[in-house]
Structure 1
């Protein structure tokens, strides 16, 4: 898996510098022809933090200003006002007690909530009664909790079941990401994501789909990742193997056969000799075998979780070694003496 992405940056607003600027602007408004604008610091805020709506390019000869919630001047949605001459603030119907207005027309909102998301309009009242307006906006996001993964089937059967993994909780304006085997979401025809990425579906699972799986949730101000989840994929048994591979034995040897089949959960084993059940063990041991033990040895593997069965057969031959054809030692000696006698007579 790739490393986690860096946490979103938190903008640190230098409030002391801004307040100093505010004080200077109270006594000096530089001539400007630039358009009045509003800058949100930050534009994406975490729930419970604070946001400063900073006014730029204020006109000259300001008598006062008002802030409104929304994109228009509406008396019912007025938050707070400020009168330059008296330096008095006048709260409005939309004032919550968390707003502070500064002499430079900037508005500080503390302990922001999700409901604070939206537009804010500054109305600048000039001495000539020709007002100017500008709007700015910001969005408030929640600090994301640690997500969790739930599964509709934690014990799927290989090549038979599908599995849906769901990342919770469901949070609006949140990005959902998945990590599989410590890597970002792989491209596979057997892996499908829902339209909101919250649900990961595995079609026809295999033993290689055990995981681990993690989900991550992100928004512009925070990120968090779930604990890893694994699947207990039930599979097998595969075709069993019998060891050792030896098939030919001599009378008096011990026959020790072991059977193994890949299986989850582990398989249950039984042995049949020439079609007759012998015992339910993984290892078959027969000491001091005879020729009568020759025959067909079948290992039967069963998985109670999948309901599958597999068998394999080993033909065992027990035989006496053949005597090598030829003359006995006594006969060979007699022939040799006869040959030597003939040589002497000649």
Structure 2
């Protein structure tokens, strides 16, 4: 290669090919860059700060690929990168385009810069049929710039209503075209509202109070879109003419009225920004400053002409409104309605005294209105023919009331019928007869009568009581409570008959085995409440819930006595179920027999055969034992019971605990777990024939199985456990007997010998191990 290509040999063959592709030919005369027609160049778009990849053709991999770049407005290409398929080189000046790299023959630019706008040329050298030829790929790259965050500026942030305001939205950068949109949010508005202007400038001419609020613009181009921060436009205006309201609201031809002794609130509101300052005048005398004037307790002295002055301190403008307040004197509270019973009639009462002027009252009912009365209206009606639920309304008219004041009375009879019951009082010395028939208007009238129809005391409304002294002749006596109501014909009644308690027991004789559980059941079948149920023991003492081995179960009218772990010496005998009320007492007896287990065995369940333990060995890590046993002699059995306890040498062994109780009668072995390796246990086994047990077996402690590698457990709970390992001693013994196996093991002696006599391998070696256990 000659000419210009030959001058760059110091840069290596790869750069040499690079330059020769840019300047083909051997002469030093520069050649123009080959170009395609403009319509053949592939237009591409990239986004600043992102990545773009330009692919150099397709087909088989080229020998050499050269990328060059021609900026916009220039005709001189600049080398960017070159590769021979194995290595590649990027020109340092290519950093103006972004972070440039080659992936195979494709040009990759990350963090794209605006300097990458222009034309890219890919020249690829291919070998085909032992000939070299070059292919070209052209790209026109446009780098788009995202729009920056818009900023909003107001020509006047606090204009006076009627002035002109211009809002400007600007962006620092962004590829054109950029479109704009405006949003407005009022201080109390539901949300942002599009203004409809799509220009960077928003004119408010003239500005008014509806324009007050936050403004925000958004800018968008083909790449991105952003919104500005909110800017507040504070429109200054007012004050408008004040609007005065009075609560409670009462209107007259002159203005407002209010009731004496009521709280009266006068409120003034004049639209203004900034908010108005208010001053209240009463007959040209200042009485308050602020938008609300509260008269805590109105009186006639508060009547007059009230004027509200409103002032805008920013604009120094004023406005005012005046109203007349008149004080009226209605009767206090509300009308009061009542219904009183009368013979075959009802009397309606409506009262509402006081007031200026006096209130006018009138009753209105299902058959029309009644007469009108001042302050007090009384109306008597025949109850015959009045339907249940009839509503009567007392209407009170007064100038101080915007609406009539009402009270209502509803005539209705009590539901159902009277209810009678008895209650014992003062230690059952008295019986209280109670009769109730609640509800109704007017309320029902109740009276007590004896069996001969003679009245017992006077009558009362809704409830009636009569007290009787408890004595032995009350059983069987009857009493009647009679109830009357204007709307209920004829009268209704309820009756009571005093009765002594009636008792039954489930079984008069109950038998239970010694140590078993007995149930004594007693049921109440009648009697005048309240009734107390209790059990008395064989010695006549009352059985309490806290008494040992006794449990009481109360279920409705039943009282069951549960006796646990029955003992003949303490529990057998006659028990009394006693019922007591204010009329009389009653009782029933139950005989409890507690049978000894030995007696029961002779009668029903023979004593089972005896059992002996044939084997008791430890298993895994001394946490389990394997128990085997055998039975001695004939006898019936239904299972076996295994017991265990901690066995401490000497007196003081632990109590026996059940280790297994669900062992089938045909079983002869059982594996027991859950043991503590540091505790020495003792076991015994018994045969069972239902509830009859045989004699316990002998007590044994478990031993290690043959050839067990586990150490023995020394001591008991509370002492340390010492493990003696004999392996090293056995090795020492074997080495002493067979020195030819361990030739280097020498035994130190007090007198060296040059020719020691070997010992017989059959002679025993005595080894003494001393183990000391420290508590």
1:176 paired with 2:210, answer no
Task: Tell me: CA distance 1:169–1:248, structure 2 relative to 1, closer, same or farther (3 Å).
Answer: closer
Cα drift, residue 213 of structure 1: 2.8
1:327 alignment partner in structure 2: none
Whichever of the two has the greater Rg, that structure is 2
Matched, 1:122 2:122: yes
C-alpha separation in 2, matches of 1:172 and 1:145: 6
The alignment's TM-score, normalised by the length of structure 1, stands at 0.59
More strand by share: 2
Map of 2:111 onto structure 1 = 111
Rounded to whole Å, the distance in 2 between the matches of 1:166 and 1:238 is 31
When residues 98 and 242 of structure 1 are mapped into structure 2, their CA distance, relative to the original with a 3 A threshold, is closer
**RMSD (Å) for aligned C-alpha atoms:** 4.5
Judged with a 3 Å threshold, the aligned counterparts in structure 2 of structure 1 residues 205 and 277 are, in CA distance, closer, same or farther, namely farther
Aligned to 2:312: 303
Tell me how far apart the structure 2 counterparts of residues 178 and 147 of structure 1 sit (CA, whole Å): 11
Q: Does 1:77 align with 2:47?
A: no
Q: In structure 2, do the counterparts of structure 1 residues 69 and 313 end up closer, same or farther at CA, with 3 Å as the change threshold?
A: same
Q: Cα deviation per residue 1:62-101 (whole Å; 9 max; x = unaligned)?
A: 86544223369955523234457xx665655843383234
| Aligned-partner Cα distance in 1 for 2:265–2:104 | 95
In 2 relative to 1, CA 177–170 (structure 1 residues): closer, same or farther, beyond 3 Å?
Answer: farther
Match of 2:140, SS? strand
Change (3 A) 1:61 1:222: closer
Q: Report the 3-state secondary structure (helix = DSSP H, G, I; strand = E; otherwise coil) of the residue aligned with 2:213.
A: coil
Structure 2 residue runs without a partner (length 5+): 1-38, 186-190, 330-355, 358-775
1:156 maps to what in 2?
159
Q: Output aligned runs, 1:1-346, within 5 Å.
A: 38=42, 40=44, 43-47=45-49, 49-56=50-57, 64-70=65-71, 74-75=75-76, 77-82=78-83, 89=88, 94-96=93-95, 98-104=99-105, 106-123=106-123, 132=136, 134-142=138-146, 146-157=149-160, 159-167=161-169, 169-173=171-175, 174-181=178-185, 182-183=191-192, 185-187=194-196, 194=199, 197=200, 199-244=201-246, 246=251, 247=255, 257-272=266-281, 276=284, 278-279=286-287, 281=289, 282=291, 283=293, 288-289=299-300, 296-315=305-324
Name the structure with the higher helix share. Answer: 1
Q: Which residue of 2 aligns with 1:336?
A: none
Does the Cα contact within 8 Å between 1:36 and 1:132 map onto a contact in 2?
no
Query: Are 1:68 and 1:74, in contact at CA under 8 Å, matched by a contact in 2?
Result: no
Q: Take 1:103 and 1:251, find their aligned partners in 2: how far apart are those partners?
A: 97
CA contact (8 A) 1:38 1:53 kept: no
Q: Distance in 1 between matches of 2:212 and 2:93?
A: 54
**Aligned-partner SS, 1:115:** helix
Give me the TM-score of the superposition, normalised by structure 2.
Answer: 0.29
CA distance in 1, matches of 2:259, 2:136: 111
The gaps in structure 1 that reach 5 residues or longer are 1-34, 323-346
- After superposition, the C-alpha distances for 1:233-258 in whole angstroms (9 at most, x for unaligned) are 33332221222264366998898643
For 1:316 and 1:73, how far apart are their aligned partners in 2?
90
Aligned-pair CA distance for 1:45 = 1.9
